[in-house]
A and B are shown apart, each in its own frame.
Chain A
Amino acid sequence: MKKTIQIPLGSQHISLLEPIRFKFECENEKIIGVDADVGFVHRGVELACTRSFEFKQVGYVVARVCGLCAITHTLSYTLAAEKLLGYEANDRIKYLRMLMVELDRIHSHMLCLAHTAENAGFEALFMQIMGDRELIMEVQEAISGNRIQFDYISIGGVNRDLTSELSALIRKNLGLLAEKIDTLIGLFDNNWSLSLRYKGVGVLSLEDAYTYNALGPLARAAGLATDVRAETSDFPYEEIGYKMILESTGDIHARNFVRLREIVNSIEICRNIIENLPVGEIQEKAKGKPNGEAVIRVEAPRGELFYLVRGSGQNMLDRVRIKTPTFSAIPAMMEVFKGSEYADAPAILASFDPCMSCTAK
C-alpha cells in the first residue's frame, strides 16, 4: 500500500497572490517531495518585444511584465539597449535611476513582509505594513506621475527631473518610514506568536544555497554573499553607502531580517542620493540602432534579474530574453520545502516572495 499522500498547493489557493502550483508528496504531515509548476500566467511578452514593438518602445512593454518590479525591468532593458547603442548615461541620470530602484526595493520588501505576516496568521500586521508602505508609493507617484506603472526610465535618460519640493517630500516620508521600520524590527524580533511560525522553519543551509544556486534575500539569509549590486559596476553603489546584508540561520526569520535590514540600508542610500545629487541633463540623445548582443544583470528586490538583448541594426530587435529571480530560485525553493510541515508551507512560500507574473511573463 502506498504510504504517502499527495496534497496540492495551488494553482488557486487562499495564501497565494498569483497562480503557482506545488504538488507535495506528504508522509503524515511532513513534506518529503515537491513538484512545482509556474507557467500559469504566460502572456508572450518576449515575442511581443521582437514582433510588435520597436526597440525604443520595448522599455514600456517589459515594464508591464510585473507590477512590483516595473522599474527594474525597464532599467535592465534600457541598460542593455544603451550598451548596444554605445551610450553611457551621466551621473545625474544614474543617481535618479538608482533612487527609483531603491524605492522600488523598499516597497517590494514591505509587501513581502506584510504577506509573510498574513500567512503566519497575523492579519493586523499585514494591514499595518501595507498602510506604512503607502509612504513609499506616495513618493513614487509624485516622482513619476503614476502609482504602479512608473514609465520613468527611457533610453537616453529619465523622463522627469527631481525638484526641490519632491526632495523635501522624499526626506519627510523616508524619515517617517525609518521610525516605523524600527518598530517593525522590534516586532519581528520579539513577538512570541510570530517567532513560533518563523524561527527554525523553512531552513535553507549554506551548502544547499550553493548547490541549488539560491539568489537574492533567500541566499543572503543563508549566509551566501551574493548581490549583483556589489558584483557589477553599472551603478556607483559603493560610494552611496551600500552594505551587503547577511544573516546566517537561513530560516523565515532570517529572510525577514534580511529584508528589514535591506530596507534600512535602502533608506540610507535614498537619503545619500538626494543629498549628493550631481548636476546635469536628465535626457540625452542616444543615437543609432542596436547592433550586437548585450547581457545585463540588475539586482531586483527578489534577486538577480538577467536580460539578453540581441539586435541586427534594425528598428525591431531579434531577441529579448528575460530570466527572472523567482525562476532561478525554484530549485532552492523546492529544497526548502522538503522536511517541513505541510501547515508551514504557505508561510514558507510567502517568505520566498515569489513573483509569478515575472516568471511566466
Chain B
Amino acid sequence: MFSSMLEAFLNLFRPIRTLQYPAEEIILPSGYRGLIEHDHEACIYCDKCEKVCPPGAILFFQHEAGEKEYRYNPWLCIYCGECVRACPKPEEALRQSEKKQLSAVAADGANEQWFVWEDACRQSREAYTAAKKSAKIQSKSEE
C-alpha cells in the first residue's frame, strides 16, 4: 500500500499524460481514415461506390442530358473506405484522404439539405428512366 501511496505522490512531479487539446494539436497517425475525395475528370460514373456505401453517404444526381453529378455527405459517412475498394479506378477517381472533417453546424444543413438532395436524386433518376422509356417507345412507333 505504501508503495502505491509513494507512486501517487511522485505523480505530482511527473509530466501531464493527457493532451492539452486546444493549445496542442492532435497528431493523427499516418493512414488515418479521413474524408473521401472525388475527382470529376477521372470518374467514369459507374455508381459502384453509391451501391456499396453502407450509410448511403454518396449519391449521384442524374441530369437530363445524361451526365451525373457527385455529392457526398461527410457527416453521414462512416469512413469505412468500402467505396474506394469498390471503385474501378481507386486513387484516381475516388480516394481516402487523411483530412479530418469538423463537426457540422446548423449552417451546414447536414440533415435538412441532404434529405432534399436525396429526394432530388431519386426523382431525377425516375424522370430520366421514364424519359428514356418514352423516347424508346416513340422511336419504335416511328419505325
Taking Cβ atoms with an 8 Å cutoff, the residues of A that contact B are: 53, 56-57, 60-61, 124-125, 131, 138, 141-142, 144-146, 149, 151, 154, 159-160, 187, 190-193, 283
With contacts A57-B52, A187-B4 taken as known, whether A160 is within 8 angstroms of B31 at the C-beta atoms is yes
CB–CB B31/A142 < 8 A: yes
Q: How many residue pairs at the A-B interface have CB separations less than 8 Å?
A: 48
Can you show 21 pairs from A to B with CB atoms below 8 A apart? Answer: A53-B54, A56-B52, A57-B52, A57-B54, A57-B82, A60-B54, A60-B78, A60-B80, A124-B11, A125-B4, A141-B32, A144-B33, A145-B31, A146-B32, A146-B33, A146-B79, A151-B33, A154-B82, A154-B85, A160-B31, A193-B1
Q: Which of A57, A61, A124, A142 contacts B8 (CB 8 A)?
A: A124
Which residues of chain B have C-beta atoms less than 8 A from A60's C-beta? 54, 78, 80, 82
* Across-interface contacts of A57 in B (CB, < 8 A): 52, 54, 82
Cα separation A151 to B77 with both chains bound (whole Å): 13
- Give Cα distance in the complex from A149 to B8, angstroms: 33
A residues within 8 A CB of B85? Answer: 154, 159, 283
Could you list which residues of chain B lie within 8 angstroms of chain A, going by C-beta atoms? 1, 4, 8, 11, 17, 29, 31-33, 52, 54, 78-82, 85
Can you add 17 more A-B contacts, CB < 8 Å, to A57-B54, A160-B31? A53-B54, A56-B52, A124-B11, A131-B17, A144-B33, A145-B79, A145-B81, A146-B33, A149-B78, A151-B33, A151-B80, A154-B82, A154-B85, A159-B81, A191-B4, A192-B1, A283-B85
Q: Could you tell me the distance in whole angstroms from the C-beta of A340 to the nearest C-beta in chain B? A: 24
Distance from A185 Cβ to chain B, minimum over Cβ atoms (Å): 13
With a cutoff of 8 Å between Cβ atoms, the chain A residues found around residue B82 in the complex are 57, 60, 154
A145 near B33 with CB under 8 A, answer: yes
* Distance, CA A187 to CA B80, complexed state (A): 40
* Residues of chain B with a CB closer than 8 A to A61's CB: 54
Q: How far is the CB of B64 from chain A (nearest CB, A)?
A: 30
Quick check: A191 and B29 within 8 Å, CB to CB?
no
With A131-B17, A193-B1 as contacts: A142 and B52 at CB distance below 8 Å: no
- Kindly state the separation between the CA atoms of A283 and B86 in the bound complex, as whole angstroms: 12
* A130 (CB) vs chain B CBs: closest residue: B17
Chain A: which residue is nearest B17 at the CB level? A131
How far, in angstroms, from A283 to B82 measured CA to CA in the complex? 12
A311 → chain B, closest Cβ, in Å?
A: 18
CB-CB under 8 A for A142 and B80, given A53-B54, A56-B52, A191-B4:
no
In the complex, which of the residues B11, B17, B31 has the most CB atoms of chain A within 10 Å of its own CB atom?
B31
Q: What is the minimal beta-carbon distance from B10 to any residue of chain A, in angstroms?
A: 12
Q: Min CB distance, A20 to chain B, in Å?
A: 27
- B8 closest partner in A (C-beta): A124
- Whole-angstrom distance between the Cβ of A148 and the nearest chain B Cβ: 11
Q: Which 4 A-B pairs have the closest CB atoms?
A: A145-B33, A57-B54, A151-B80, A192-B1
Of B11, B52, B82, the most chain A CB neighbours within 10 A belong to B82
- Complex CA gap A146/B32 in Å reads 6
